[in-house]
Chain A
Amino acid sequence: MKLSARDIGCVRGERRIFAGVSFALASGEGLLLTGANGTGKTSLLRMMAGFLEVAGGTIELTGGSPDLTIAQQAHFVGHLDAVKPGLSVAENIEFWSRLLGATRGIDETLSHFGLSGHADVPAGLLSAGQKRRLALSRLVLVPRPLWLLDEPAVSLDKQSQKRLAAVMSAHLAQGGMVVAATHSALGLRLAHELRLGARKARP
């Protein structure tokens, strides 16, 4: 399986955020996206998932299921946690499990990010870090080859950051792919790094 982008650009509003970005990512490899605020890290991740239009160039996922979109073969965990405050922690996971077709059990998934004791708590009562852990639980709940993570470690405590790093390394070891945009250290080395905004973007 291979994720490749050729010469893609990003236009938000009338402004060109970046242009001429290319990369290739093979199974078992990770890509770290870095760059200052506003250089298009989130936009690039959304483009990979197909949630944002690519301005020129192409993004391809080869070797997967040709009938599925990239989003359907990926996990996108962005700034928004997609957690429903009106449902309990276990109900949130149960919904994703049915929606996405999980292979792992709910209890087992909860234990991955230390949420076992909170199964019946309404998700609206969780702290920001706990909500993030709940959102990240999707990664282990349903196996998907490509993970698109936008600042995954934000608001996580030290222990949860370590768990996230462990989950990511296990995914890479099994031949998965990870693209992570972050400012903080992830606690593991990814094979590639892409620095956005290294050149000054032209208007």
Chain B
Amino acid sequence: MKAVLAIIRRDMTLAVRQGGGAGTAIGFFLIVVSLLPLGIGPDLNLLTRIAPGALWVALLLAVLLSAERIFQPDYEDGSLEVLLASPVPLEIVALAKALAHWLTTGLPLTLALPFLGILLNIDIADIGPIMLAALLGTPALSLIAAFGTALTMGVRRGGLLVSLLVLPLYVPALIFGVVLSSGAMRSGPGYAPPALILAAITLGAVVLAPIGAAAAIRAHMK
């Protein structure tokens, strides 16, 4: 347990110190979101309608932007071999690294959402569901990103390849995240169905992504 906490703490410290951490992700998110109204012109109703989708796509890209730092630096500087020599199973190492990534990317982005939502003229009543959707969905994004970067570890400048591999896997989280965020559920079935499905996606990713990431790393070490 002490070793797992050490991995999480180290990854978070490095993320904060070396950039690519919370600040960069939020900055990227802010720029994409503030470019959008400039791009579509002064139609407030249109903006409100597409805001949840736009926020989610920006969220996916912001998470993906920093995904490479999950495994790539450790692979390049030999730290991965030290991690393999630790008593911690590789699956738990992958889970800890994904968690550290979420704490420095997904969580700050979620907290920034209300302010960015205002930029997109989102109804105040929709802010709560949007934050809930991000809180439930972003852990899955970090976990799937960890799996994708583990697969492309040996590829230099593999960022584009990671996007190709990972973005299709983001589709379920995107769909239910937008459904929960869009306020379409306020009347009718309520917020529970999409929220539960998002939670299920994240729980599934908690189980499967570390196993996949560990298998990818082991295959790479052959």
Within 8 A of B (CB), among A57-89: 68, 71-72, 74-76, 78-84, 86-87
Q: What CA separation (Å) do A87 and B84 show in the bound complex?
A: 20
A151 at the binding interface (Cβ < 8 Å): no
Given contact pairs A53-B222, A86-B14, A87-B10, A71 touches B77 in the complex (Cβ within 8 A): no
Given contact pairs A82-B77, A98-B2, A99-B3, A87 touches B82 in the complex (Cβ within 8 A): no
Q: Contact mask A95-125 → B, CB, 8 Å, 1/0?
A: 1101111000000000000000000000000
Nearest-Cβ distance from residue B138 to partner chain A, whole angstroms: 24
A49 at the binding interface (Cβ < 8 Å): yes
Stretch at the interface among B60-68, B85-93, B102-110: B85-93
CB pair B13 A86 closer than 8 Å: yes
Residues of B in contact with A, size category: 20 to 34
CB pair B6 A99 closer than 8 Å: yes
Q: What CA separation (Å) do A72 and B82 show in the bound complex?
A: 9
CB pair A138 B82 closer than 8 Å: yes
B81 at the binding interface (Cβ < 8 Å): yes
CB pair B85 A71 closer than 8 Å: yes
CB pair B87 A82 closer than 8 Å: no
CB pair A71 B84 closer than 8 Å: yes
Q: What CA separation (Å) do A53 and B17 show in the bound complex?
A: 36
B79 at the binding interface (Cβ < 8 Å): yes
Q: Which residues does chain A contribute within 8 Å of B73, judged by CB atoms? A: 84
Which residue in B3, B18, B83 is a CB contact (below 8 Å) of A86? B18
CB pair A74 B3 closer than 8 Å: no
Residues of A in contact with B, size category: 20 to 34
Q: What CA separation (Å) do A83 and B79 show in the bound complex?
A: 7
CB pair A51 B82 closer than 8 Å: no
Nearest-Cβ distance from residue B90 to partner chain A, whole angstroms: 10
CB pair A76 B85 closer than 8 Å: yes
A52 at the binding interface (Cβ < 8 Å): yes
B135 at the binding interface (Cβ < 8 Å): no
Nearest-Cβ distance from residue A103 to partner chain B, whole angstroms: 13
CB pair B5 A82 closer than 8 Å: no
Which residue in A52, A53, A86, A96 is a CB contact (below 8 Å) of B82? A96
Q: Name the residue on A nearest B83 (C-beta).
A: A99
CB pair A86 B222 closer than 8 Å: no
Q: Which residues does chain A contribute within 8 Å of B77, judged by CB atoms? A: 80-84
CB pair A52 B221 closer than 8 Å: yes
Q: Contact mask B1-35 → A, CB, 8 Å, 1/0?
A: 01101110010011001100000000000000000
Given contact pairs A86-B17, A87-B14, A98 touches B5 in the complex (Cβ within 8 A): yes
Q: What CA separation (Å) do A52 and B221 show in the bound complex?
A: 6
Q: Which residues does chain A contribute within 8 Å of B76, judged by CB atoms? A: 80
Which residue in B2, B10, B87, B222 is a CB contact (below 8 Å) of A72? B87
Nearest-Cβ distance from residue A175 to partner chain B, whole angstroms: 20
CB pair B87 A84 closer than 8 Å: no
Q: Which residues does chain A contribute within 8 Å of B6, judged by CB atoms? A: 95, 98-99
Nearest-Cβ distance from residue A87 to partner chain B, whole angstroms: 7
Q: Which residues does chain A contribute within 8 Å of B82, judged by CB atoms? A: 76, 82, 96, 99-100, 138
What are 26 A-B contacts defined by CB distance under 8 Å? A49-B85, A50-B84, A51-B84, A51-B221, A53-B222, A71-B84, A71-B85, A75-B85, A78-B78, A80-B81, A82-B81, A86-B13, A87-B13, A87-B17, A95-B6, A95-B10, A96-B82, A98-B6, A99-B6, A99-B7, A99-B82, A99-B83, A99-B86, A99-B88, A100-B86, A101-B87
Chain A residues with CB under 8 Å of chain B are 49-53, 68, 71-72, 74-76, 78-84, 86-87, 91, 95-96, 98-101, 138
Task: Contacts A87-B10, A99-B88, A100-B86 known; list 4 others, CB within 8 Å.
Answer: A49-B84, A76-B85, A82-B81, A84-B77
Chain B residues with CB under 8 Å of chain A are 2-3, 5-7, 10, 13-14, 17-18, 73, 76-79, 81-88, 221-222
Closest 5 CB pairs of A and B: A80-B78, A98-B6, A82-B78, A53-B222, A82-B79
